[in-house]
Amino acid sequence: MSSPTPRQAEHVTTTLRRRTALDWSFDRRSGLVYVSLKGEIDENARLGELARRLDGKVVLDLADVRRINSAGVREWVNFIRELPKVEEISLARCSPTITNQLNMIFNFRGKARVESFYAPYVCEHCDVEVDRLVNVEEHFPDRDPAKVPSFRCEHCGAELTFDDIPERYFSFILQL
Ligand SMILES: [Zn+2]
């Protein structure tokens, strides 16, 4: 076999870069494994590798997961279902992308608890869109999707308007 030409070598590099569309960072503190995921979940997300590194009590921070495709959903559902060394797992700061999946895919969270998630709001006075962090225990103590959490605009103090359909965006609350 001949050695690769520079053009072929460049192609290999590009492929490897595409395979790391999802990055994660670990932080072990006070008996918890805190894992922040960042990027896109697709067929190259290496979730099996992540699963092997998880044990004990785990929090997955999903604030920076921007996209997930249908292959990614399949990978994720398998991942969250098979975590043999994990005792407890919760999903924190779920991005709107992840929250939409929680609503659409019946077994998306598997055995995980949902701790908090982002919800879309607008300030009609300032004409800005803003995602606000909703804490399940604090904002949905009775698990009623129709009781939309209220927030105020950081700039003008006006009450923000929820920018989706509550019965759709918060429907997963019913299953928690
Ligand atoms: Zn405002």
Q: Which pLDDT belongs to residue 75? A: 95
Q: Which pLDDT belongs to residue 19? A: 54
The three-point CA angle 132-61-16 to 5° equals 120
What are the tens digits of pLDDT across the range 19-33? 568 999 999 988 999
Q: What are phi and psi of 58, to 5 degrees?
A: -125, 135
CATH numbers and ranges of domains, the chain: 20-114 (3.30.750.24), 120-176 (no CATH)
Q: Which residues contact 91 (CB under 8 A, 6 or more apart)?
A: 59, 60, 62, 98, 109, 112, 113, 114, 115, 117
Instruction: For residues 144 and 116, give the distance between their C-alpha atoms in angstroms, rounded to a whole number.
Output: 15
Q: 164 C-alpha vs ligand 1 centroid, how far in Å?
A: 18
Q: Which pLDDT belongs to residue 29? A: 87
User: Which residues are within 5 Å of ligand 1 (an ion), measured at CB?
Assistant: 123, 125-126, 153, 155-156, 158
Q: 148 C-alpha vs ligand 1 centroid, how far in Å?
A: 18
148-161: b (≥16 Cβ within 10 Å) or e:
bbebebeeeeeebe
Q: Which pLDDT belongs to residue 127? A: 97
Instruction: For residues 174 and 164, give the distance between their C-alpha atoms in angstroms, rounded to a whole number.
Output: 17
Q: Which residues of the chain have pLDDT under 70?
A: 1-20
Q: Which pLDDT belongs to residue 16? A: 47
Q: Which pLDDT belongs to residue 105? A: 95
